Every structure is written in structure tokens, then in C-alpha cells.
């Protein structure tokens, strides 16, 4: 079958790979779309020792189940496979399973015509939800989970100021998820002017250039770091008000920057966030099916055969927040 293959740092090619062979409990999904994630870019840059080339990356995938209870139905894939038996899984925190595995990491992923995945990881798509918007379900689920943590399960004052650092797909979708829950004072820091212009048209938030601007007039009680560098961790500490909450979802580097003395003296809460639960994934699909969130204005569909150029354009800052590859070769 055809696939986009990560072959070496900063290199990928479109070519032939073996069709997937499902293991016990798995089904094959005939794929329709798969989005390029920041973690795919991280691997493509050679910064993820879990993703060893040659490898088919990709996990933000949707398609049609070829067997099982959902045979013939359109599905979204939860790419995070877990044991289902450990204490984390039994309490519903499946994303913290010590045996967790993801397609596109140590096994072939979604930048291909088809993929094998555990049947329990498939979610039937609501009627009327397009494949293109459904391809946002996985990254949106990450954002739903992050916003839940940042707002204490949506219980924070809806008028408190929230700042999202980074206007890529995760930052943008997090702002959308917060706006869908009624939060009204959302700012997004983005240095790329192309993305910053798009942000103002896509979400009920105020985009700004953090190089020469910062939100004024109100204390910032909630910050979501959707970049994850030493620089943005330093910025988070400088911006957050006493008693505030910083949620860290970006994973670009592990450089110093966080001022732990300030966090301690001002009782600032700092939380990491990883992936999502099944409930978060289901909520993401509901937000997309209801039309509260869509990919209009910030996504671009490209053929799988042009996927290599998509990685290059993202690398060079010439891409919209989200590129989704059409895998129906």
C-alpha cells in the first residue's frame, strides 16, 4: 500500500509499505484523512527516540472500519492503546497507563492507506460530521483534557483572563475548547504573522505578538503553554498572577526557564497534561458534530503524496496551524 515514510531527520518519502496485519482484537481501518501533529514534527526533526526511522508516522486518523462490530462504518481512531487492567486504566485515567502505546510511534501509523488498531479504540462518527473535521478529534481531545485541568473541570470564573502561548493547532483548538465552555477573556500569543492573522478569524480570542505586546488591565489567572520551550516556560512565570494556574502541554524542549521560586512564593499551580481519556475524546467528537468547533479557516487538506512538502512548509513557518493529509490514494 502507499504511505508517507519518515526515513531520516528532516526527510520523508512517499512510497510502498506492507499492508497492516491486525493482531488479536484489532481491525484494519481504511483511512481517509490523517493530520500532521506537532509530535510528528518533533519526530521528523529527529528529537524523539521512540520514533525510529524508517517509520510511518501519523495518529490523527479517521476512516472506515473493515471488520468487527463497526464494520463498514465511518470511525475516528483513538490512537492511544492501553492495557485496560492497571490501576490507572481501572480508574479511567487510561492516558497514564504504564503500558500505553500509540500508532505512529513504535508501530506504523496513519500516513498510509490503512492501519491496524484495537477495535475498542474506534469511535463511530456522528451522522453529518465530515471526515475532514473528524480528523481534528484527536488533537481536540488533548485540548479538551488540558482545558479541563486548567479550569478545574470548567469550574473557574468564566470572566477570568486566560492566555494561550502558541497559535498552532493545539493552542488554537484549546482556545476554541475554552470558548465553547463559555470563557470570554482569552488571549493567544503567536509570533508568526500568518498564523496570527488566521487566529483572529477562527476563534473568539485576542491574538497578540508576544515579542512587543502583552495583555494588560487584568490579572492573568490561567495560562496554557502550547509551545513548551524554556522561553515559554519563562514567559508563563512572568505573566501568571499570584494564585494562578499554568498548564503545560507543549513538548518542544526540556530547557530551563520555569521560575519555581516564584511559583512557590505566589502559590501558582503548575500542571503537565498528556493526551486524554475516552470521555475527553467523546466530548471532542460532540463539539465537532455540534458545529461549535470546526476546521474552517485554519486547516489545509493536501494529498498524501504531497505530505513531504507539508512537513517542510510547517518547518519553514509557511503553513496554516493544521495540515491534514488525504490518505485515500
Give the Cα separation of 86 and 63 in Å (integer). 30
61 lies in a domain? Answer: yes
Contact partners, residue 134, CB within 8 Å, separation at least 6: 33, 62, 74, 76, 125, 285, 288
Tell me which residue range forms the domain holding 55. Answer: 2-136+294-326
Has residue 154 got a pLDDT over 80?
Answer: yes
Residue position matching grid coordinates 487566529: 199
- pLDDT confidence band for 194 (50 / 70 / 90): confident
Q: What is the pLDDT of residue 234?
A: 97
Whether residue 126 sits in one domain with residue 146: no
Whether residue 42 sits in one domain with residue 150: no
Whether residue 248 sits in one domain with residue 179: yes
Which CATH number characterizes residue 93's domain?
Answer: 3.90.180.10
Whether residue 229 sits in one domain with residue 159: yes
Over residues 217-227, the pLDDT tens digits come to 999 999 999 99
277 lies in a domain? Answer: no
Q: What is the pLDDT of residue 200?
A: 86
Average pLDDT of the chain is: 96
Whether residue 130 sits in one domain with residue 146: no
> What is the percent of the chain with per-residue pLDDT over 90, rounded to a whole number?
95
Whether residue 114 sits in one domain with residue 216: no
Whether residue 208 sits in one domain with residue 86: no
Over residues 75-94, the pLDDT tens digits come to 999 999 999 999 999 999 99
What sign for the dihedral angle of Cα 222, 205, 228, 111? positive
284 lies in a domain? Answer: no
Give the Cα separation of 188 and 165 in Å (integer). 6
Arithmetic mean of pLDDT, 170-193 = 97
118 lies in a domain? Answer: yes
Whether residue 111 sits in one domain with residue 181: no
> What is the percent of the chain with per-residue pLDDT over 70, rounded to a whole number?
100
Which CATH number characterizes residue 255's domain?
Answer: 3.40.50.720
Over residues 90-99, the pLDDT tens digits come to 999 999 999 9
Over residues 240-291, the pLDDT tens digits come to 999 999 999 999 899 999 999 999 999 999 999 999 999 999 999 999 999 9
Whether residue 163 sits in one domain with residue 47: no
249 lies in a domain? Answer: yes
Has residue 141 got a pLDDT over 80?
Answer: yes
Give the Cα separation of 46 and 194 in Å (integer). 26
151 lies in a domain? Answer: yes
The model's pTM is 0.96
Arithmetic mean of pLDDT, 321-325 = 96
286 lies in a domain? Answer: no
Whether residue 199 sits in one domain with residue 172: yes
282 lies in a domain? Answer: no
Over residues 25-55, the pLDDT tens digits come to 999 999 999 999 999 999 999 999 999 999 9
Contact partners, residue 213, CB within 8 Å, separation at least 6: none
What is the number of structural domains in the chain?
A: 2
Whether residue 149 sits in one domain with residue 244: yes
Whether residue 170 sits in one domain with residue 267: yes
- pLDDT confidence band for 329 (50 / 70 / 90): confident
Amino acid at each position: 500500500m502507499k504511505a508517507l515514510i519518515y526515513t531520516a531527520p528532516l526527510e520523508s518519502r512517499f512510497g510502498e509499505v506492507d499492508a497492516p496485519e491486525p493482531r488479536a482484537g484489532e481491525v484494519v481501518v481504511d483511512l481517509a484523512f490523517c493530520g500532521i501533529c506537532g509530535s510528528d514534527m518533533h519526530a521528523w526533526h529527529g528529537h524523539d527516540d521512540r520514533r525510529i526511522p524508517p517509520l510511518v508516522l501519523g495518529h490523527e486518523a479517521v476512516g472506515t472500519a473493515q471488520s468487527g462490530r463497526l464494520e463498514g462504518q465511518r470511525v475516528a481512531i483513538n490512537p492511544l492503546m492501553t492495557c485496560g487492567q492497571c490501576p490507572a486504566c481501572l480508574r479511567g485515567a487510561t492516558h497514564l497507563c504504564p503500558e500505553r502505546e500509540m500508532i505512529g510511534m513504535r508501530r506504523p501509523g496513519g500516513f498510509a492507506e490503512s492501519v491496524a488498531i484495537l477495535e475498542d479504540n474506534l469511535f463511530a462518527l456522528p451522522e453529518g460530521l465530515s471526515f475532514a473535521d473528524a480528523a481534528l478529534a484527536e488533537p481536540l481531545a488533548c485540548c479538551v483534557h488540558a482545558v479541563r485541568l486548567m479550569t478545574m473541570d470548567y469550574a473557574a470564573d468564566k470572566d477570568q483572563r486566560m492566555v494561550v502561548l502558541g497559535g498552532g493547532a493545539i493552542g488554537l483548538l484549546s482556545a476554541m475548547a475554552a470558548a465553547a465552555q463559555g470563557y470570554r477573556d482569552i488571549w493567544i500569543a503567536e509570533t508568526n504573522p500568518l498564523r496570527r492573522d488566521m487566529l483572529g478569524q477562527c476563534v473568539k480570542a485576542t491574538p497578540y505578538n508576544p515579542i512587543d505586546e502583552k495583555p494588560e488591565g487584568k490579572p492573568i489567572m490561567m495560562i496554557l503553554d502550547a509551545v513548551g520551550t524554556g522561553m515559554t516556560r519563562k514567559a508563563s512565570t512572568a505573566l501568571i498572577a499570584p494564585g494562578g494556574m499554568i498548564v503545560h502541554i507543549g513538548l518542544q524542549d526540556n530547557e530551563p526557564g520555569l521560575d519555581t521560586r516564584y511559583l512557590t512564593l505566589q502559590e501558582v499551580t503548575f500542571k503537565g497534561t498528556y493526551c486524554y481519556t475516552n470521555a475527553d475524546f467523546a466530548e471532542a467528537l460532540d463539539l465537532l458534530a455540534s458545529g461549535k468547533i470546526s476546521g474552517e479557516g485554519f486547516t489545509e487538506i493536501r494529498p498524501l503524496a504531497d505530505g513531504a512538502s507539508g512537513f517542510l512548509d510547517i518547518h519553514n513557518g509557511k503553513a496554516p496551524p493544521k495540515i491534514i493529509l488525504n490518505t485515500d490514494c
